[in-house]
Amino acid sequence: MVKELLSVHHLTFAYSGDCVLQGVDFTLHRGTFLGIVGPNGSGKTTLLHLLARLLPLQEGIICFEGKEIWRYSHTEWAKKVAIVFQEIPTRVSLPCQEVIAMGRFPYLRRFAREGEEDERAVQWAMEMTETWQFAERDFGELSGGEKQRVMIARALAQKPTLLLLDEPTSHLDVLHQLEVMQILRALQREGITIIGIFHDPNVVAQWCQYALFLKGGRVLRFGTTEEVMRKEYLAELLEVEFIEHTHPLSLRPFFTPLELRKRPSRGITVHLICGGGRGIPFVRKFLEAGFSLSVGIVNRFDSDEELAIQLRLPVVSEKPFSPFSEESLHHALHLARKAQWVFIVPTYWGRGNLLNLELARLLLLEGKRVFLLREGFDPRFDYTGGEARKKLAELAHHGAQVLERVEELWEK
Amino acid sequence: MYMSHRRKNRQFLRLLGLVVGGLLGSIVFAQGVGGGGYSWHDSFALFSPSTLSTIDRTILFHIRLPRIIIAVLVGGGLALGGAALQGMFHNPLVDPYVLGVSSGAALGAVVAMVSGIYFGLFTIPLFAFSGAVCTAFVVFRLGMVAKRIPLETLLLAGVAMGMFLSAFISLGMFLAGEDLHQIVFWTMGGLWGRGWMEVRMVVFPFLIGVPLLFSFTRELNAFLLGEKVAQSLGVDVEKVKKWLLLFVSLLVASCVAVSGVIGFVGLVVPHLLRLLGCEDHRFLLPLSFLVGGVVLLWADTLARTILNPVELPVGIVTSIIGAPFFIYLLRRKKREW
Amino acid sequence: MRRVLWGALGLVWCILVTFAGFTQEIVLQDDWGREVKLSAPLRRIISLSPSNTEIVFALGMEEFLVGVTSYCNYPPQTQKIEKVGNVTEVDVERVVALNPEVVLAGSLTPPEVVERLEKLGIPVFVLDPHNIEEVLEDIDKVAIIGGVEKRGQEMVQAMRAKIQAITDRISSLSEEEKPRVLHVLWHDPIWTAGKGTFIDEFIVKAGGVNAVSDLTGYVILDLEEVFRRNPEIITVVTSHGAEKVSYEFFLTDERLKVLRAVEAGKVFMVDSDLVSRPGPRVVEALSLFAQIVHPEIFDVYVPPQEE
């Protein structure tokens, strides 16, 4: 047995002159689950159709089990490779088992009746997909998720070695999407190789072993999901910034796209003095208002720090749960000098972060404009026995402007 | 639970038996219906032909019987063709004349009538058949885009061709002058005067075409799930389409050649069977053939007896009954079909 | 001076003509019941049907005929006259351009055409007879229009005499002696002429019984009925002499061999133009049927030989 199930060499394809795929190369082993991700128009579906022999090859070679795919006969091929499409057939009112039994088409000769083996295959397909419960029901009366499961069962009845899926979950709600993905994982355990297009990168990150990033008809990344599913690669692929989290149960990464309403840049950088997660709403407000930001000093793993890192903001951080050091102050001073303004977020003050007010004082003396909010003087924020408030008042006295609302800055 | 598949088969066989029984009953009944009404003696005259006068024997065995057979064959052929094409294109509005077979046949017949070419009683059927086949071929070629046959282009090519040929039919009518009635009668569609000669003419295309179409039931079922799915199941989609179009066109062309243009049977019968829950082509095709035969037989029996001794064109009967029935089916809209 | 002289002469001529009775205002009722005002005699006539053309020719008025239809083929001289369309499609412009004094419309002339011509100030006289008697009346009326009343009366009298001669000779026949005749206009389907048609009148006046006398007008007959009625004689129309398809059908179709008429060789081809035109040749058509129906009384009908 050849170890590689599928190998694609230099696949190039064009629709009437428009190049859709350019030099796609990859190989896939038996029993793996590959997810293909890419922006719209990246050639994902074309690639899948080429693999399924729904499109003729133009350039390049695809080998399946060591043999060029077009050298299989129509029925031989249908016994090896099955495909499930995104669109669910409409206007079909046959009992589901008949729909599933259509998967036996390549095994049946003209006029031949279904035999025991065919029945076994259909039964197995129904068990794998848990569709036996609506075997007798009319396909047209099922819900979208149920229909897609029947379509997967139909593909399974072909007893394929390779199962291809073109965005099989895109029309489904979360529950049905999960059901389908669980079925696919079970199939993979049965030894079936699966290639699926998914437009949600999290599905790939969660469920697939391998990922292939396709952009502009070229393979951007190909490797195990651990290697490939990273937010910087995703940003490169989909041109959207992502925040990466860890799934609390599967411990696999998951990604949240950053939603930012881009404003024309004001050309002003603001240095944000924050901490304790109090900075998060201000980060959003400043960015949306078109300011650039730098942050510091914050402790590592403070949620303000994490956000700054995700957003790739320049940040000066101190070790977790440690008081700020002179060294950090030095770095922060260095960073903040590049900014035009300094904004002190109303945050909690303790012995550990008082140095931030020292930072502000130094910057004020250097002539930077420093702003703080009236609510920052609230004694509930002060865990230094009044020292922090004294320092804040001092700042205000030396020319730091006290604002009622941060939005007052937008006018300046 | 998958065993219910067998139950389904049994169910179908029972239904098939019922329809075959209905067809045989209809034939026996139609055989007894003539000028003066129904006569059971006529129905069973087949078993005692010697007691009949020559005239009666001619009426029963050389006029009525072949006409009944032609009605069953033509009705069956049109409905079968309609069912196959509707399934293939997954579109309920497709009728067996999509390839312009009807206008092609009409033009062929008109050419024969206007030009005065005559070499025997089969002249007009032969011209009609040739016209139909040529038109189907041209439409087929026009509808083909890059070796594929998309439904839209095929339908549009058929419509455009139909209009183009209609202009020539009109021209033929204009030029026909005092022979106009011939063209009018032909285009109305009728089985009047059909005898064993016409049966012999259509029997060959039917013997070939009907079993061949029946052999495509599994492919047609796969088409139900969409062409892409069918292809992934190992169906050579474009080849199957070509074969189906060829067989249907030959079958329908031979029907039209002997009957003129008979509407609605090919459209309504498969549609009706689908509404009754028969979507599986393994059942739909044979049932369409049989029910189509029964329907046209009744329509023709009605056409020749309702105003007896005057006869109506059966094409008018099928349209008068078929069109409102079709609209009723559309209004019910129980399914998306 | 000269103009005055000519004017005076013209006036005198007009007065002379009027008082001499050369032209007179007449009002005639046509076959559609319309009262048509005409000033006879009319010297520019257009005929819109072959039978009208035949009437005009028979009355010797052909020199007044300025327009005919493309279907007009009898007598052959009509070929030289300008065509204004066919029977159902009339080129009104051409009609107007020919400046007719009267248009003789036929049964198939579209009523809109009649209306349009009337609006354009052209008198239209419709000839749409339904039996031989009305044909004779129409001949009389056309004669009045053309100012040849006398000639018309003579002609009608002669025709009546011929018809009388035929009906006289068959009047003594009993019903059993009258053969049943089926007249076929087209074979696919069997298209026949029932009551109220000229054919029916020909058959009856010729001493036969129309096999479809229970039906009215031109009807499609169930082929079975042909066998059930099994007529003694079948007459089949040929159009233009070239189209013999229907006649061939009766001679060659195996099934029809058991029919009495076919067996006895009593299937006759008759010229469509002759038997379908309500014109002066109705008498000829009647004698043709008489010969076919009763060859023992009248001369044996010999079909015209093919060229």
Q: State the burial class of residue A370 (Cβ atoms within 10 Å of its Cβ: 0-12, 13-18, 19+).
A: buried
Residues of chain A positioned with their CB less than 8 A from the CB of B89: none
Measured at the CA of A58, the angle between CA A52 and CA A64, to 5 degrees, comes to 40
Residues of chain A positioned with their CB less than 8 A from the CB of B335: 91, 93, 140
DSSP character at residue B99? T
Residues of chain A positioned with their CB less than 8 A from the CB of B235: 74, 105
Distance separating alpha carbons of residues A196 and A177, to the nearest angstrom: 13
Which H/E stretch holds residue C266? Answer: none
* Residue from C245, C253, C272, C275 whose CB has the most chain B CBs within 10 Å, to mutate: C245
More confident: B195 or A90: B195
Is B221:B274 a contact under the CB 8 Å cutoff?
no
Find the mean pLDDT for residues A269-287: 89
More confident: B83 or A239: B83
Point out which residues pair with C269 in neighbouring strands. C236
ipTM over 0.90: no
Q: What are phi and psi of A333, to 5 degrees?
A: -60, -45
Name the residue in chain B with its Cα closest to that of C217: B310
> Does C touch A (3+ CB pairs < 8 Å)?
no
Point out which residues pair with A271 in neighbouring strands. A294, A342
B233:A102 CB<8 A? yes
Measured at the CA of B137, the angle between CA B132 and CA B138, to 5 degrees, comes to 100
Q: What are phi and psi of B171, to 5 degrees?
A: -60, -45
Which one of C71, C189, C243 has the shortest CB-CB distance to B192? C189
pLDDT-derived band at B4 (thresholds 50, 70, 90) equals low
> What six digits make up the tokens of B11?
């169910």
Give per-residue pLDDT as tens, B280-334: 898 999 999 999 999 999 999 999 988 888 999 999 999 998 889 888 877 776 5
Residues of chain C positioned with their CB less than 8 A from the CB of B308: 222, 225
Distance separating alpha carbons of residues A127 and A133, to the nearest angstrom: 9
More confident: C40 or B25: B25
Distance separating alpha carbons of residues A69 and A54, to the nearest angstrom: 11
Interface of A with B (CB under 8 A): 52-54, 74-75, 77-79, 81-83, 85, 87, 89-95, 97-99, 101-103, 105-106, 108, 110-111, 114, 119, 122-123, 126, 132, 135-136, 140, 151, 154-155, 158
Give per-residue pLDDT as tens, B194-204: 999 999 999 99
Which one of B192, B310, B313 has the shortest CB-CB distance to C223? B192
Which one of B63, B120, B121 has the shortest CB-CB distance to C223? B63
Distance separating alpha carbons of residues A87 and C109, to the nearest angstrom: 62
Distance separating alpha carbons of residues C234 and C227, to the nearest angstrom: 12
Is A48:A115 a contact under the CB 8 Å cutoff?
no
Q: Looking at the predicted structure, is the pLDDT value of residue A68 above 90?
A: yes
Find the mean pLDDT for residues B8-21: 86
Query: With an 8 Å Cβ cutoff, is C185 touching chain B?
Result: yes
Is A291:A269 a contact under the CB 8 Å cutoff?
yes
Distance separating alpha carbons of residues C181 and C212, to the nearest angstrom: 8
What whole-number percentage of chain A has pLDDT above 90? 43
Which one of B225, B231, B234 has the shortest CB-CB distance to A92? B225
Length of chain C: 307
Q: Looking at the predicted structure, is the pLDDT value of residue C21 above 60?
A: no
Length of chain B: 337
Helix (H, G, I), strand (E, B) or coil at C195: strand
- Look-up: residue for tokens 């699926």? A196
Is C104:C127 a contact under the CB 8 Å cutoff?
yes
Name the residue in chain B with its Cα closest to that of C70: B177
Distance separating alpha carbons of residues B226 and A52, to the nearest angstrom: 15
Q: For residue C5, what pLDDT is reported?
A: 57
Q: Looking at the predicted structure, is the pLDDT value of residue B2 above 80?
A: no
Closest among A124, A122, A132 to A102, alpha carbons compared: A122
- Look-up: residue for tokens 């074309």? A46
Is A338:A294 a contact under the CB 8 Å cutoff?
yes
Residues of chain B positioned with their CB less than 8 A from the CB of A95: 4, 8
